[in-house]
Every structure is written in C-alpha cells, then in structure tokens.
Amino acid sequence: MQSSTQTAELTIGTRGSPLALAQAHEVRDRLCAAHGMAREAIAIRVIKTSGDIILDRPLSEVGGKGLFIKEIEQALVDGEIDLAVHSGKDMHTSLPDGLELSAFLEREDVRDAFISLIARSPDHLPEGARIGTASLRRAAQFKRFRSDFKVVMFRGNVATRLRKLADGVADATLLALAGLNRLGEAHRATLVLDGPAFAPAPAQGAICIETRTGDTRVRTLVEALDHPPTALRVAAERAFLATLDGSCKTPIAALSTLDGETLTLFGQILAPDGSASFEDEVSGPTADAERLGQELGETLISRAGKDFIDSLRRGH
C-alpha cells in the first residue's frame, strides 16, 4: 500500500511489512491531527530493505539490525523522502551523518509475548522444546531460563512467524507485545513475559521518526508528536547499548522506568548460549538519562570482564 508522492506535502519512508505500515499510518494520522493536514497531503513510500530480502540467515550473520533501515536512511539522505518511521529497537546507536532522531511516539507495551500451541508458559514446555526466534537476546534468555531448550531460526513478519509455529517448525516463539497490539493481534499471546529474566530489547515498543539534520520544516512538524517521557527512557537505554557497543551479535536487554523526576534503568548482558548473565540497575535524575545509561554499561563491562565483552563483540 502506497500513497501517491506527486502532490504530497510530506513523504514518509517505511518498510512494507504490515507492522511497519501500521506504524507509518499511525505517524501520518497523528501528523494530520496535530497540524490539521489532509491525509492526501502525506504520502507513504514503501522501501524494501536488505532485511526484508534476506530471510534465510540470522541477522547477526548478514550485517545486523541495520539491514532494516539502511535503504530507508539512504532515501532520506537523497531527499526521496522527508522522514523515516522505524521501530526504535532496529536503530543503530550512531546515525549516518546528516540524520537525526526528531521524535519518539508514546511507547507501547515493552514486554515480549510467549506464544505456543502446546504450553501455557515456558515452564510447561517439554524437555528439549524448540524455541523459534532470530533474536540472540531472546535465545540467550530462554537458554538461561532452561538450558535444554533448542533454538530454531525464525525470520519474517508476524504472520509468517505465526504460520511457522502452526506448521510445527517450533514449539514456541516470542514476539514483541507492542507489535501484536499495533496489529490487533494481542490475543495471540499465550503469556506476557514479565520480570528481569525476560527483559526487552533497548527501545522496544517505541516508534521513532528520523529526519534530515537542519530540515527545520519537517522537524517542526514531527516534534509535535514527541513524547518526552518515552524520549528520556529511550535515551538512557540507547546510551547503555552504545556503551556496550551493542549489535545483533550482542545479547543485551534494557528496561527503564520513570517515577516523577527519577529514572531507573535495568540492564542485562548474556552469553549467547545462556551460560552466563550479568545485570544491574541504576537510578538518578531524568536530566541525566544518557549518563545513567553510560554508567550502567560501564558497570556491566567491569563486572563481566574484558574477555567476556570482547567475545560478545566478536560474536562468539
């Protein structure tokens, strides 16, 4: 689905999956409501990314999560689109020159959903159960939870993964509850996973809007959609990720909460096979969100030790 860009005042770039389109439509609807614009004034351009094309290998083997944004960012740099809509957890911690994150929509539910047709919870899965996921974090957390679990590579959009589950490719899978909610598919969740053992990816559940640096017209329009509490929480989580040099080769989880002017950040790093885990928590003023993320990252680097961190960065 794609709106005409010929007469549009603004063009949004997005991936073409049902979830990505739902997110782009939400941004368009919010822009229209905030500025009294007609829907026809905002076009949606679908851009196929490498991550949408390469489905037979884990992301960690073919370039990481940047595969879902590279072509969209290039279209933004080239002026083919005016803004890009992304899932926050897909974003690198450093952006290409000339691009910036101008707004974060109010965050959806950050938790993961456990989905199984044979068990009502991870505890009830049979020995040696197959967990379908392409996420190193989810795989590591589940193997940490129960070392007998086997991990089966699951790639594709939500519908594809649910179909693979129904076809018996795996006994259970995990999806972000935020995505299920945005697609009206929350009823698919067998159990919503809570607690530090299954902490989410940094920035999970947050839609972000990327624009060109210095494009004041577009920035002014999208800033009206920014949700400051979400932006603060994501800033802390992204700073934590950046300090750890996080990538798709690094199983990292983070979850921040706000209580008035106090931000609390939980962080976790794991061995890919679940054999080791290091976690901690830090609290401080919201004004120090990025510093808190850096501080927590440095704490976990110190606790885990250089050899462990280096092995993660090498993808071993």
Per-domain residue ranges for the chain? 10-107+203-226, 112-198, 235-314
Angle, alpha carbons 201-202-206 (nearest 5°): 100
- Do the domains at 10-107+203-226 and 235-314 have one common CATH topology? no
Which one of the listed residues 52, 90, 112, 171 is annotated catalytic? Answer: 90
Q: What is the pTM of this model?
A: 0.90
Predicted pLDDT of residue 52? 58
CATH class of 235-314: alpha beta
Residue 259 is a catalytic residue: no
Q: Which fold has domain 10-107+203-226?
A: D-Maltodextrin-Binding Protein; domain 2 (3.40.190)
Predicted pLDDT of residue 1? 41
CA pair distance 17, 74, nearest whole angstrom:
19
CA dihedral sign, ordered 187, 251, 316, 245: positive
Q: Does domain 112-198 have CATH number 3.40.50.150?
A: no
Predicted pLDDT of residue 66? 61
Predicted pLDDT of residue 313? 72
Predicted pLDDT of residue 293? 98
Q: What is the pLDDT along the chain (316 residues), one digit of tens a residue?
A: 444 455 679 999 999 999 999 999 999 999 999 999 999 999 999 998 765 555 555 555 555 556 678 899 999 999 999 999 999 998 988 899 999 999 999 999 999 999 999 999 999 999 999 999 989 999 999 999 999 999 999 878 888 999 999 999 999 999 999 999 999 999 999 999 998 999 999 999 999 999 999 999 999 999 999 999 999 999 999 999 999 876 556 899 999 999 999 999 999 999 999 999 999 999 999 999 999 999 999 999 999 998 888 887 776 5
Predicted pLDDT of residue 155? 78
The one-letter amino acid at 308: F
Instruction: Express each pLDDT in 218-247 by its tens digit.
Output: 999 999 999 999 999 999 999 999 998 765
